[in-house]
Structure 1
Amino acid sequence: MTSPQTIIDNLAPVLTEIAATASQREQDREFSRDLAKQLSAGGFTKLRIPVEFGGLGFSLPEAFEVLVAVAAADSNIAQGLRPHFLAVESLLIAPDSEHRDKWLRKIAEEGVVIGNALTEVGNKPGELKTKIRKEDEVFVLTGTKFYSTGSLYADWIQVHAKDEADQDVFAFVDRDAAGVALVDDWDGFGQQLSASGTSFFDKVAVDPLDIATRDYTAPSAFQALAQSHHLSTLTGISQAITRDIVTYVQNRTRIFSHGSGDLPRFDPQVQQVVGEVKAKSYAVEKIFQGFAQELDLVVNKAKAGTATEAELAAVDLSAYQAQLAVAPLVLSQATQAFEVGGASAVSKKLSLDRHWRNARVLANHNPIIYRARLLGADALNGGHVAAQYTIGSLS
């Protein structure tokens, strides 16, 4: 059976290219579908798909080993491909159907990359303005989405809409279909290449076999799954910070007269900073690995239909605890790393600031302060239920 390390080794050439070009691609705002396709060709996009459908059949901890390696090379691409893995997970937990079989095989055998068009702006919480309607014998999709992560890397886009019965439906839409327009208008200071802009769908014809109905807010492990991918990307950023700061110090020859070493790498104070940064990376990795193993057990139970509501709620809370521990550690690393150099450490050529910016944006997803409140409320009073939350505006 193929191991995660085998896949990482197979992907080594493209991971090297991704890491080497990450800073320049961000400065040029270059979305490279070619890099995404190279990752797909190396097996990256079928890690979790069962072997019987042409995939690698990895467990969540095994898949995350590879995801973290990609995030360490470039967290933008890792975040941009997050919707692909969540689309796969939604298929894995779905009941057997022709839709499920078709898409698991299509992704595994054709190397299809999936993007995301789930979230809207200007809607009320729980409301979706994107609709699928049957016109004559054709299903037609119309609506506008924002935060369309991964859309510019994708071949197909998973779109969340409401059908005529006001049910939640998820449709796979060809990004090149008539009526689809993808706009790069995400203006965040971090994760700039996660392709999280606006998607327009104007009377796009959709094959009925590409549409699935799912109760979006039913208790499930999906919220924990969604957060696990943010955590894997943060873990990759943590590793990248350690890697880049070690390389920076090893190659640095400029010293200060009031320093404590002939070269920065021999300066005890610099060594201390590097040691502390590395220790935080160790802690991040171990926290995430432990959570991934816990999540894997619950997800497997959920797929088998044996997970209890208490187990789903518990893994939800574990995801929140991991976020509250990991995000501050990575942000601390990203700031502390600058202590080992002078003005040269802030050079745009080094682009060390991208680690803080990217980690800061990831930590802002689904605000962490609300995670802390939910944890505290459950610790004091119990009653947490694992449910997908909704976002919108009241006016």
Structure 2
Amino acid sequence: MTSFQNIQPLNTQQYAKAHILRSDQEALEVAHDLAEQFKLNAIERDAKRTLPFNEIEAFSQSGLWAITVPKEYGGADVDTFTVAQIIALFSGVDGSIGQIPQNHFYALEVLRNNGSEAQKQKLYAEVLAGARFGNALAEFKTKTAAQKQTLLSQNTESFVINGEKFYCTGSLFAHRIPTLVKDEQDREFLVYVSRDSEGLTLIDNWTGFGQKTTGSGTVKFNNVPVTEDDIVRFDTVFSSPTLVGPFAQILHASIETGIARAALEETLERVRLARPWIDSNVESAELDPLTIYEIGRIAVDVRASEVLLKQAARSIEAAKPHPTAENIAKASLDVAKVRAHSTETALKASSKLIELAGSRGSQQKDGLDRHWRNARVHSLHDAARWKYYFIGNFELNHILPPRRGTL
């Protein structure tokens, strides 16, 4: 277990050279180039659990962490499907790297909906300069996931935070750590805590067998001082129709869709390598029909997840100009469809990769199991069965799903 305390302080001047992306096309081109670089050592990083500090620095310096900043604040504000494609692309290369920016984009979406004008000006400028947001949302010691004990209180000089968070994905790489707290009136806030704050301790104690390098450890707060301009109201973000929930969930669906596509592509490569006659001119009767059948099934499932992902992104974009209870519900349901489907597809595709690779699939040096391990661990984030429940409840009873972060 490693403890990181007060390292890499937030200094936006340090990031004055961060690239500013201007369009969806530019963002996609930069992402493809960067993903090819990250692919080179992905298996080794996973095997040795090497935290990708250099890769994440390059990722944010490329401008890709600022692509959702609204145009009026200097950002590209790219289409939701562009964000989804980029997350899927990096997740296929390295599931951990694909997940790390998810909470960053989530925090930016909360800011878009509930932040004041001054807060937007300040925090968007930092992100455009290259700053990264992590998260400290979940708690490990409460009876239920909905309960929160981390407290925001006010003393004579400032506000302070006391508490402990776990599953803090991306916190080790972050310059600010958006932290979910409650006050004495049980109101909830998201506090954009600076990495170099006194009393803040980051602990690298995430030991999952998949998504091994997401930096999802513990964050402790011991009278951590925060200023009022870093505090954003959170509990009201779902009281009116917003895209915070659907946008958060489509990023999770993108992670699994990317893993599924990568597993399929690696399956094709491995099967061709093991059975070169597949691409030869021999009679079809000599081919292995069961292998081809299994590949066909996975190919259909992967493509279905990709189509559902695009449809969900379109629903989000359609709701953006004028969110209503109805179009936000449609976006939530369309995202739930791809989230549930991609979970199952990623698990099936990554399992079939190991199966169809034969005995070679068990060789650790080849890293074929990383896709399954990443998909299995990520799929535990929130249960797919609840997605199906709300989809079914709408189809059967025309009941709109609740507005929350998991929908």
Alignment TM class, shorter chain as reference: 0.7 to 0.9
What is the match of residue 366 of structure 2?
Answer: 350
Distance 1:204 1:192 in 2: 28
Aligned partner (choices 113, 116, 123) of residue 142 of structure 2: 123
State the match for 1:393 in structure 2.
none
1:328 maps to 344
Partner residue of 2:264? 242
Q: Which moved more, 1:10-19 or 1:94-103?
A: 10-19
Q: Report matched runs for 1:163-242 at 5 Å.
A: 163-214=183-234, 215-219=236-240, 220-242=242-264
Return the alpha-carbon distance in structure 1 between the equivalents of residues 194 and 353 of structure 2.
Answer: 43
Q: CA deviation at 1:106?
A: 1.2
- CA 1:159–1:241 in structure 2 vs 1: closer, same or farther (change >3 Å)? same
Give the Å deviation of 1:52: 3.0
Partner in structure 2 of residue 25 of structure 1: 45
2:192 match: secondary structure: strand
Does the 8 A contact of 2:114 with 2:233 survive in 1?
no
Q: Does the aligned pair in 1 maintain the 2:84–2:250 contact within 8 Å?
A: no
Identity across the alignment (%)? 27
**How many angstroms does 1:283 deviate by?**
1.8
**AA of the residue aligned to 1:59:** D
Per-residue CA deviation, residues 94-117 of structure 1 (Å, 9 max, x unaligned), is: 354211221111111x21011010
What is the TM-score when the length of structure 1 is the normalising length?
0.87
Displacement of 1:151 in angstroms is 0.8
The whole-number CA distance in structure 2 between the counterparts of 1:81 and 1:360 is 19
In structure 2, C-alpha distance between the alignment counterparts of 1:22 and 1:218, rounded to whole Å: 41
Q: If the length of structure 2 is used for normalisation, what is the TM-score?
A: 0.85
Contact 2:111 2:232 in 1 (8 A): no
TM-aligned CA distance change 1:209 to 1:279, over 3 Å: same
Q: Does 1:79 align with 2:99?
A: yes
- Contact 2:87–2:99 (Cα < 8 Å) also in 1: no
1:378 corresponds in structure 2 to 394
Q: CA contact under 8 A between 1:284 and 1:330: conserved in structure 2?
A: no
State whether residues 4 and 65 of structure 1, in contact with CA within 8 Å, keep that contact through their aligned partners in structure 2.
Answer: no
- Equivalent residue pairs, number: 377
Correspondent of 1:7 among 27, 48, 68:
27
Conservation of the 8 A alpha-carbon contact between 2:164 and 2:220: yes
Please tell me whether the aligned partners of residues 274 and 337 of structure 1 are also in contact (alpha carbons under 8 angstroms): no
Does residue 341 (structure 1) correspond to residue 341 (structure 2)? The answer is no
5 Å-filtered alignment, 1:26-41, equals 26-41=46-61
SS in 2 for 1:349: helix
Q: Distance in 2 between matches of 1:385 and 1:372?
A: 11
Is the CA contact (8 Å cut-off) linking 1:223 and 1:386 kept in structure 2? no
Residue pair 2:22, 2:75 contacting (<8 A) in 1 also? no
Q: Secondary structure at the match of 2:366?
A: coil
Distance 1:365 1:77 in 2: 16
After TM superposition, the structure 1 = structure 2 runs for residues 295-306 of structure 1, keeping only pairs within 5 Å, are 295-298=316-319, 300-301=320-321, 306=322
Q: Does the 8 Å CA contact 2:308/2:337 hold for their aligned counterparts?
A: no
Aligned to 2:113: 93
Q: Determine if the alignment matches structure 1 residue 313 to structure 2 residue 332.
A: no
| Greater alpha carbon shift after TM alignment, 65-74 vs 202-211 | 65-74
In structure 2, relative to structure 1, the CA distance for the partners of 1:271 and 1:325 (3 Å cut) is same
1:159-213 Cα distance to aligned partner (Å, 9 max, x none): 0101243321111112232211112222322212222221101111112211111
Letter of the aligned partner of 1:387 in structure 2? R
Counterpart CA distance in 1 for 2:58 and 2:396 is 49
